[in-house]
Amino acid sequence: MSDGSFPAARACWLSVLVPVYRAEKYLAACAASVLAQSDDGVELVLLDDASPDGSGGIAARLCRDHPGRIRLIAHASNAGLSAARNTLLAHASGDYVWHLDADDVMLPGAIDGLRGVVESSSPDLVLCDFSVLRERQGIKHRLRGERHRCSFDGRAGAVETDRSRLVSGLMRMRCLQAWTKIGRRHVWRQALFPHGRRLMQDVAVMPSLVAATCTFVHVDEPWVGYRRHDESAWSAPGEAKLCDAVDSLCDLKRGMDALEELDDDAAFAVDYYCLRTLGRLARRTAGQSGRAGAIIRAMLADLFPSGMAPTLAGCRTRGWYLRALRLHNGLRAHCG
C-alpha cells in the first residue's frame, strides 16, 4: 500500500471515508456531494483498491483539483472492501468518521446536521436515515417509502445509553449498513471489518460497534442517497457469496450473544433478524445447488440448536402470527 504524494493528514472533526473500486460512473458525483457541503474541518479520504477501470485516475484528478480537501491512498493490489475500509480507518484523522460507498451520495444538509448533533451532545455514534436512488423512480417506489428509509426503530434526537435499545432498534429496521452509522474514530477502530469477506461485512462488525458505543443518537433525516443498480454484490449470487453472508450472520449472532447486558427484547430481535435473513438467503439461492441448502441448514443448526420454536413463539407473543408462519414455511421449504 502507498500513501501517494498527496497532502498529509490534518486535524479535522470529520473524515469521510470512500473505498474506490469499479466506481468510475459514480465517483465524481459522490465526491461532489461531500465537497459541496464540507468545511475546513472535513476531510474526504479516497482509497483506490487497485480498481481495474478508470476509478483510480478519476480519484487522482479529484485530489489534484481540490488540494487540501481530498487525500488519496492506494492499495498495490486489490484487497477487497473490508481491507479497504480498515485501511481508511487507519488513515483517518477526524474525531468522527463516516463510511460512504463510492456509488452513493451524501444528501444536502447532511454535514450541517451532523455538526449540530456533535456540537450539542458529542455522542459516540450517530444513526442517520437514507433515501433510495434509482435511475427510474416509479410510484411503487414512493409508496414503499424509498424517499425516506428509517435506519432505527426508536426515539429520534435524544442521547441514549441503553445498548439493548440500540440493538433492538437496529435489528427491527434491519438496517445495518456502515454508512448510516457515523461514529467517533476510536469507536469505529474497535469494529474492524473481516478481511476477505465479500458480502455483508457491515453485519459482521455490528456487535463490536455496539460494544464500543456508550452514547448514541438517531437522527430521523435521510443523509445518504443509496444508489440501487444492477452491479450490486448480490447481482450474481453464488456459493462463495452465500458462505460469506452466512459467516457474517454467525459473527452477528455470536457477537450479540456475548453482550451479556442485552435484555430479552434485544436478544429476540437478533434471533428474528438472523432467522429472517437465513430465510431470504435460502430463497435467493434456491435452485442453485443442493449445496446451498446444506450450508444454510448447517448454520441454522449451529446458531439455533433448540430450533426455531423459541423465536416463532416470540413472534406469536407479539401478535406476529403471519410473520411466524412465513418464517417457518420459508425456511422449511428451502432448507428442508
The tens digit of pLDDT for each residue in 220-269 reads: 999 999 998 766 554 555 677 888 889 999 999 999 999 988 999 999 99
Residue 207 has pLDDT above 90, yes or no: yes
Q: Which three cell numbers stand for residue 144?
A: 414503499
In tens, the pLDDT along 166-203 reads 999 999 999 999 999 999 999 999 999 998 877 899 99
Query: Could you tell me if residue 63 is inside a domain?
Result: yes
The pLDDT score that the predictor gives to residue 240 is 79
> Looking at this protein, which amino acid is placed at residue 227?
R
Nearest to 221 by CA among 98, 327, 155, 127: 127
CATH code, 219: 3.90.550.10
Q: Where is pLDDT greater, at 196 or 71?
A: 71
> What percent of the chain shows pLDDT beyond 70?
88
- Of 227, 251, 279, the position where a domain reaches its end is 227
Name the grid cell of 335: 432448507
Please say if the pLDDT value at position 333 is more than 80. Answer: no
218 - beta bridge partners? 127
DSSP 8-state symbol, 209: H
Nearest to 163 by CA among 259, 251, 98, 274: 259
User: Does 150 share its domain with 48?
Assistant: yes
215 and 246 assigned to the same domain:
no
Q: Where are the alpha helices (DSSP H) in 122-233?
A: 139-143, 163-173, 185-188, 201-212
Looking at the fold, whether 267 and 297 belong to one and the same domain comes out as yes
* pLDDT (average), residues 53-57: 96
Which three three-digit cell numbers place residue 124? 459516540
Residues 110 and 195 in one domain: yes
184 and 113 assigned to the same domain: yes
Query: Model-level pTM?
Result: 0.91
Count of domains in the chain? 2
128 beta partners: 219
Answer whether residue 135 shows pLDDT above 80: no
**Would you say 308 and 279 are in contact if contact means Cβ atoms under 8 Å apart?**
no
Question: Of 202, 227, 252, which marks where a domain is finished?
Answer: 227
pLDDT over threshold 50, residue 5: no
Residues 196, 115, single domain; the answer is yes
DSSP state of 3: -
CA atoms 289, 291, 294, 295: torsion sign: negative
Query: Among 227, 259, 274, which residue terminates a domain?
Result: 227
Give me the phi and psi of 35, to 5 degrees please.
Answer: -65, -30
Task: State the residue range of the domain holding 281.
Answer: 239-335
Same domain, 190 and 331: no
Classified as helix, coil or strand, 2 is strand
**What is the average pLDDT score of the chain?**
90
**Cα angle value 143/221/232 (rounded, 5°):** 65
83-92 pLDDT per residue, tens:
999 999 999 9
Burial of residue 91, with CB atoms counted within 10 A of its CB: 0-12 exposed, 13-18 middle, 19 or more buried? middle
**Are 202 and 303 in a shared domain?**
no
Cα 303 to chain center, whole Å?
22
